[in-house]
Structure 1
Amino acid sequence: MDKLPSLPAFGNIGKAWTSSVQPFATRSQQFLKEQLGQAEEKTQLPADYLELEKRVDALKQAHQNMLQVTSQYANEAYDYPPNLRESVLDLSRTIQEKVALLAAANTPSEAQAALTKPGPKPAPKTLHHALGRAALSSAHLLEPSDPLATALEKYAIASEQVGEARLAQDQRIVSHFNAAFNTSLNTNIQFAQKARKNVENARLTLDAAKSKAKGGQGIGFNFPGTQARRDPIHHDDEQSEEQRVEVETAEDEFVGCTEEAVGVMKNVLDTPEPLRNLADLVQAQLEYHRRAAEIYEDLAPLIEQLQVEQEVS
């Protein structure tokens, strides 16, 4: 007959509880005592450590502030007019495609088909693309020989080119700046936060051990207006060898966690990565505005020439 699996010994269960649950309970009760103003003492962290914490918090907030705005670059239509109602036909093809098809059209029906026939994918919804579509649509409401029609068509093409440059900028910002800042926020800075949490846990454990050794109160606490509970086995003037070892062990753990957190926070603060990321953001914006300036510099003389020719005709 098969034997039933043996249950774990009560001693092992007790050890598992002591090694996992009890430390958490000790820290939690020490935290409650501090919140209720019943802690006899609270180990103070060094001023240099507290200054590092402030700087890491500031760095975290700086990342969050920037990402709150730059996350909009992932939204193609962030500058698209909110009240604009473009039809499916308006968005059926890019401006360049429509202009090319219109140029090849020999009859009014072919021209109409060029404006309405859908393309392989919808045109982007950005302010510049919308300006271009409006300009092209307006141009073909006028007579082909009208200088304004010619100017509007040229403006439509230029607007679409600027819109494409904007989309290229957005993609670079999303893939370089946003991705890097999110990585820093969710890894490096989060790692520093975890190290700080370890320090806080170690401090609570240390102060709980000190309180137990000094006052004989164990890990208990009392609510305001009630008398503090005391362990009748211990006395204020006695400190067992076990309690002394517990305090020394907690002190070593606290010092070790603090030193580790200092190193982690310094590494987070000293890395030049955020500056590299900001340089990527600026470069993406620079290239976009430079490209836009080039497009408009080429367009402006053409529009001016059409204006002059109309004035002298």
Structure 2
Amino acid sequence: MDMFKGFQKSLTCFLCSSLGGQITPFASRTFQYTKEQLGQAEDKTQLPPDYIDLEKRVDALKAVHQKMLAVTSQYANEPYDYPPNIKETFQDLGRTVSEKVNLLSTATSPAEAQAALTAPPTAKPQPKTFAHALARASLAGSQTLHQQHTSAGEDPLATALEKYALAQERVGEARLAQDAQIQSRFLAGWNTTLNTNISFATRARKNVEKARLTLDAVKARVKGTTWKIAGVGGAPRADVHDDHELSNEAQEEIEKAEDDFVTQTEEAVGVMKNVLDTPEPLRNLAELIAAQMEYHKKAYEILSELAPVIDGLQVEQEASRAADFSLH
């Protein structure tokens, strides 16, 4: 019992802390909210079912955006598919595979070839994507085979690895182009919807809740709702004294609070409908799919060009090997 008396006293001090002991709107709403949380509010204004349905739909839209962005935000992180076990040096990342191949084409000795592979960088470090890592590893493997090749002609596998390296670099560049498109055409749009449009709806809903709490607080006050302490071990309860009709002043105060509640509710309904009806999220999703399609199309075209070349090298090597066997 003493605990509840102390709690009631604290609330009273808080509510009457403004000038002249008048209850501020914020304090009044806080008092009403506390009563509701403790189950002491006699009446609570109910929101229309259609409004509650809109709230649920907006909450679902918000959850979808948060879930999708948690995954797709990786498109803004360049090395999202970069193997964590790879140990590449600054020199490895210094030049593009294309640049190294051009330098290697003019090398006339193993020393010059090694110098070409470790040439100082001419721009920023090369991208850390899986395709670029494949390209660098393939080119390094190609040169290792070339340096140890003592027979006449080219080493078929070394040649194939170099061509594969060049192709994978192009695939990696296509992936980076995809990521840039997704960042600008999908991530930007969905972040705007989440952080702006849905946030506007959240703010409007908060205004509705404030208006409702104010309305119910006014009703409780003008109708004479007070807090009283129950028997020992009991909880505080709200008693309503409605022995006489409300005064004109009190009725006007309730009507004013009701008008504000209706206005805020109508505004929130409009904002939520606008958020739910906008085609922007679907348009952004279409852009995401288009960027992915373009990337996979380019990757397919690049590898489709490469595949018959590698097949041709394989056929030549098998034919050469068969010829060698026939001679023996």
TM-score normalised by the chain length of structure 1? 0.89
What SS class does the counterpart of residue 81 from structure 2 fall into?
coil
Match of 1:173 in 2: 182
Written as runs of structure 1 = structure 2, the 5 A alignment for 1:1-313 is: 14=19, 22-119=24-121, 120-143=123-146, 145-214=154-223, 216-217=224-225, 225=234, 228=237, 236-313=243-320
- Structure 1 residue ranges (4+ consecutive) displaced by more than 4 angstroms after TM superposition: 220-224, 226-231
User: How many Å separate the matches in 2 of 1:235 and 1:304?
Assistant: 94
What are the superposed Cα offsets for residues 59-79 of structure 1, whole Å, 9 maximum, x if unpaired?
A: 111111111011101111000
User: How many Å separate the matches in 2 of 1:239 and 1:171?
Assistant: 65
TM-score normalised by the chain length of structure 2? 0.85
User: How many Å separate the matches in 2 of 1:290 and 1:107?
Assistant: 39
**AA in 2 matched with 1:99:** V
Indicate if the aligned counterparts of 1:29 and 1:221 stay in contact, CA closer than 8 A: no
- Tell me, which stretches of 5 or more residues in structure 1 are unaligned? 1-12
The Cα shift of 1:242 comes to: 2.2
Indicate if the aligned counterparts of 2:29 and 2:213 stay in contact, CA closer than 8 A: yes
> Over aligned residue pairs, what C-alpha RMSD do you find?
2.1
Cα 1:83–1:132 change in 2 (3 A) is same
User: How many Å separate the matches in 2 of 1:213 and 1:274?
Assistant: 47
User: How many Å separate the matches in 1 of 2:48 and 2:281?
Assistant: 27
Which region of structure 1 is more displaced relative to structure 2, 102-111 or 287-296?
102-111
User: How many Å separate the matches in 1 of 2:43 and 2:82?
Assistant: 59
The Cα shift of 1:238 comes to: 4.1
Cα 1:151–1:222 change in 2 (3 A) is farther
User: How many Å separate the matches in 1 of 2:283 and 2:218?
Assistant: 46
**AA in 1 matched with 2:33:** F
The Cα shift of 1:249 comes to: 0.5
User: How many Å separate the matches in 2 of 1:217 and 1:302?
Assistant: 88
User: How many Å separate the matches in 1 of 2:73 and 2:237?
Assistant: 53
User: How many Å separate the matches in 2 of 1:222 and 1:114?
Assistant: 88
The Cα shift of 1:217 comes to: 2.6
Q: Percent identity?
A: 63
Give aligned pairs, total: 294
What SS class does the counterpart of residue 141 from structure 1 fall into?
helix
The Cα shift of 1:230 comes to: 7.3
What are the superposed Cα offsets for residues 164-211 of structure 1, whole Å, 9 maximum, x if unpaired?
A: 000110111112211111111111110011111011111111111111
User: How many Å separate the matches in 1 of 2:276 and 2:54?
Assistant: 8
- Tell me, which stretches of 5 or more residues in structure 2 are unaligned? 1-17, 321-328
Which region of structure 1 is more displaced relative to structure 2, 21-30 or 301-310?
21-30
